[in-house]
Amino acid sequence: MAMAISAIADDVRHVKEDNPFESMMSRFDRAAQLLDLDPDLYAVMRVPNRELKVYIPTRMDSGRIQVFEGYRVQHNFARGPAKGGIRYSPDVNIDEIRALAAWMTWKCAVVNVPFGGAKGGVICDPTQMSMGELERMTRRYASELIDFIGPEKDVPAPDMNTNEQTMAWIMDTYSMHARHTVTAVVTGKPIDLGGSSGRREATGRGILFVVNEAIKKFKMTPPQTRVAVQGSGNVGGIGARLMHEAGYKVVAISDVHGGIYNPNGIDIHEALKHLQQTRSFEDFEGVEAISNEDLLELDCDVLVPAATENQITSENAERIKCKILAEGANGPTTAAADEILHNKGVFVVPDILANAGGVTVSYFEWVQDRMGYFWREDVVNERLHDTMVASFNDLCRYADSHSVDTRTAAYMLAIDRVAYDTRMRGIYA
Ligand code: GLU
């Protein structure tokens, strides 16, 4: 059995450590082997259901047309409509989107929300585009996907460099074609347009909830816990702020250009205000400058990589000093680094749990849109809390009972759930 799986796996795998698809596949293979997954189920689950590539003609402000390339990978529908964000970046590529789509499937299964996984991306540099250009590109991208997305099919959301405005444009474009307003086609919308209270903060808040549970295992309390956060966007910035408000000592934070460090703790409200006003952490008083690489290696209790993929690799994993690694980004740790961290005794809260707060509240948003009845923010936050804590406990129990690390346990738990549903539905082959 194990051999059959390896044989199938070899022909789809690239062997580059920084390929996110490779990182995802090697964990998937290991979990599948440990679960003794049926080879037919393995063959179905190892590949996406559908991959769309679209060309997006966009009228630029100059009057000329530029054609952008975009993707939407729908990885799995076994448990419900596909779900996942859309990112805009010059680095977008199909392997990355494929990996991110699969991670959405496993993430939704870990927190047990009734969605499959998908991801989209457009190769573009949003920092060089005007709002008008972004709007026209977004609307044309949405119209190219119109037959493939929808509340019962595939529900996009924000990801890197996309936001509530992007979702409002997609919702509007879809609705214009449908001839009526369809709020549930995307999540992460503005609150007044069918968005959910608490969605913007949900990923950061989810991280706070799992870190609160993880520190109990080390008998630590928030004021004794030093936290380093890489990233200050929707995940890192909000996560750091909520942890600061919860009494944690946030000793470092960064953005793409670099970070700041103070072993006695940073006033995160002031630091984020400075970042917003000056677009940089530079010249913020009472801290040392630190590079993004050095931030990862700081002496701290909790490390939250909340920026991008491939930050902790076989090259630097040995030098990571945190007790708890709470992965805010998708895929911040390569598969090759897993064993090194495990041998060092780092407690990993894997991305497919740690950052699942976002999609959990996306699920709540989709439910509210379909009901047409909206919940108070404290209700959203309480339900998010219950989901994150229950999933954290499920994961720890699963890791203990199967004698595996938490990363492997997360994949096993997710694959087990998706495999069960696939087997019960039967493969239409
Ligand atoms: N882009 C987010 C993620 O990677 C959210 C996806 C969603 O809410 O559908 O989890």
Cβ 48 vs Cβ 76: under 8 Å: yes
* Burial class of 69 by CB neighbour count within 10 A (0 to 12, 13 to 18, 19+): middle
Q: What tokens appear for 62 in the block?
A: 């100059």
In this structure, the answer to whether residues 183 and 287 fall within a common structural domain is no
Cβ 18 vs Cβ 26: under 8 Å: no
Residues 195 and 180: their CA atoms lie apart, in Å, by 17
Domain hosting 259: range is 202-354
Could you tell me if the CB of 387 is within 6 A of ligand 1? no
Query: DSSP letter string over 237-250?
Result: HHHHHHHHHTT-EE
Q: What tokens appear for 43 in the block?
A: 């063959």
Could you tell me if the CB of 83 is within 6 A of ligand 1? yes
373 found inside a domain: no
In this structure, the answer to whether residues 174 and 206 fall within a common structural domain is no
Query: DSSP letter string over 106-168?
Result: HHHHHTT-S--EEEEEEE--GGGS-HHHHHHHHHHHHHHTTTT-BTTTEEEEE-TT--HHHHH
Nearest-5° Cα angle at 321, 318 to 266: 140
21 found inside a domain: no
Residues 340 and 233: their CA atoms lie apart, in Å, by 28
In this structure, the answer to whether residues 143 and 254 fall within a common structural domain is no
Q: Which of 75, 83, 104 is the best mutation target for the ligand 1 pocket, counting ligand atoms within 8 Å of the beta carbon and taking the most?
A: 104
- Measured from the CA of 361, which atom of ligand 1 is nearest? 8
Residue nearest to ligand 1 atom 9, measured at CA: 84
The domain that holds 207 is classified in CATH as: 3.40.50.720
Cβ 156 vs Cβ 162: under 8 Å: no
Find, among 96, 81, 119, 92, the residue nearest to 23 by Cα. Answer: 96
The domain that holds 78 is classified in CATH as: 3.40.50.10860
Catalytic residue among 119, 189, 249, 323: 119
Cβ 101 vs Cβ 17: under 8 Å: no
398 found inside a domain: no
In this structure, the answer to whether residues 173 and 216 fall within a common structural domain is no
Could you tell me if the CB of 116 is within 6 A of ligand 1? no
From 304, 332, 354, the end of a domain falls on 354
Q: Which of 87, 159, 327 is the best mutation target for the ligand 1 pocket, counting ligand atoms within 8 Å of the beta carbon and taking the most?
A: 159
Which residues make Cβ contacts (< 8 Å) with residue 294, sequence separation at least 6? none
Could you tell me if the CB of 360 is within 6 A of ligand 1? no
Residues 2 and 42: their CA atoms lie apart, in Å, by 11
- Measured from the CA of 83, which atom of ligand 1 is nearest? 9
Residues 211 and 247: their CA atoms lie apart, in Å, by 12
- Domains in the chain: how many in total? 2
Distance between Cα 156 and ligand 1 center (Å): 8
In this structure, the answer to whether residues 213 and 81 fall within a common structural domain is no
* Burial class of 366 by CB neighbour count within 10 A (0 to 12, 13 to 18, 19+): buried
32 found inside a domain: no
Beta strands in 176-233 (DSSP E): 226-230
Scored b (16 or more CB within 10 A) or e, 20-54 reads bbbbbbbbbbbbbbbbebbeebbebbbebbeebeb
From 151, 175, 193, the end of a domain falls on 193
419 found inside a domain: no
In this structure, the answer to whether residues 175 and 256 fall within a common structural domain is no
In this structure, the answer to whether residues 68 and 135 fall within a common structural domain is yes
425 found inside a domain: no
Q: What tokens appear for 209 in the block?
A: 């909830």
Q: What tokens appear for 67 in the block?
A: 């054609």
Residue nearest to ligand 1 atom 8, measured at CA: 359
How distant is the alpha carbon of residue 426 from its chain centre? 29
Residues 329 and 411: their CA atoms lie apart, in Å, by 17
In this structure, the answer to whether residues 207 and 346 fall within a common structural domain is yes
119 part of the active site: yes
Q: What tokens appear for 205 in the block?
A: 């808040």
Find, among 204, 153, 164, 152, the residue nearest to 188 by Cα. Answer: 164
In this structure, the answer to whether residues 64 and 102 fall within a common structural domain is yes
Residues 106 and 102: their CA atoms lie apart, in Å, by 6
Could you tell me if the CB of 187 is within 6 A of ligand 1? yes
Could you tell me if the CB of 84 is within 6 A of ligand 1? yes
Find, among 370, 363, 369, 389, the residue nearest to 199 by Cα. Answer: 363
In this structure, the answer to whether residues 158 and 298 fall within a common structural domain is no
Which amino acid is residue 427, in one-letter code? I
Distance between Cα 219 and ligand 1 center (Å): 31
In this structure, the answer to whether residues 292 and 175 fall within a common structural domain is no
- Measured from the CA of 155, which atom of ligand 1 is nearest? 9
From 292, 319, 354, the end of a domain falls on 354
388 found inside a domain: no
Distance between Cα 343 and ligand 1 center (Å): 31
In this structure, the answer to whether residues 305 and 188 fall within a common structural domain is no
Residuewise pLDDT in 10s, the chain (429 residues): 444 554 444 444 445 888 999 889 999 999 999 999 999 999 999 999 999 999 999 999 999 999 999 999 999 999 999 999 999 999 999 999 999 999 999 999 999 999 999 999 999 999 999 999 999 999 999 999 999 999 999 999 999 999 999 999 999 999 999 999 999 999 999 999 999 999 999 999 999 999 999 999 999 999 999 999 999 999 999 999 999 999 999 999 999 999 999 999 999 999 999 999 999 999 999 999 999 999 999 999 999 999 999 999 999 999 999 999 999 999 999 999 999 999 999 999 999 999 999 999 999 999 999 999 999 999 999 999 999 999 999 999 999 999 999 999 999 999 999 999 999 999 999
427 found inside a domain: no
Could you tell me if the CB of 85 is within 6 A of ligand 1? yes
- Measured from the CA of 187, which atom of ligand 1 is nearest? 8
Could you tell me if the CB of 330 is within 6 A of ligand 1? yes
At residue 367, the pLDDT reads 98
CA dihedral 134, 137, 141, 142 (to 10 degrees): 60
